Amino acid sequence: MLLLDTSFLIELESEVSARVLGAAKRFLAAKPLESVAVSIISLGEFAEGFEDKNDVEAFLSRFRVISLSRSIAYKAAAMQASLSQRLGENDAWIAATALTYDADLIGREKAFARVPRLRYKTF
């Protein structure tokens, strides 16, 4: 499974709006058989750039949205406690979601590289 970070969603939406084939579109096109999801946290961050939630829902309708759970909460707590430099809270929730679901996290956030066992990939 691929879990798309907010940075990926923002770039993908820019490419879709501009009708250009950029890095985000190429990345997804190269992974046609992968299941793709976003964290509910990324949904919230992404929605900040929109006035109408229906536009957000329409754009994200192609992806599974993963809500928070106890498993994710405990994973986030353990992860933050183990890091010498904590992640920002939203990044911690997103990273913990990827770890819980054994997903590759896709984006452009350098802080994720500090998380052991997290499969973080840039595009």
Q: Which structural domains are found in the chain, ordered by start?
A: 2-121 (3.40.50.1010)
**Sign of the CA dihedral running 81, 83, 89, 90:** negative
Q: How far is CA 111 from CA 35, 72, 77, 81, in A?
A: 24, 19, 17, 15
Average pLDDT, integer, range 58-75: 98
Q: What is the pLDDT of residue 38?
A: 99
In the chain, % of residues over pLDDT 70: 100
Element (H, E) at 105: strand 104-106
Write down the pTM of the prediction.
0.95
**pLDDT confidence tier of residue 91, bands split at 50, 70 and 90:** very high
Residue 21 CA to its chain's centroid (Å): 20
Measure the CA angle with vertex 8, ends 101 and 96; round to 5°: 25
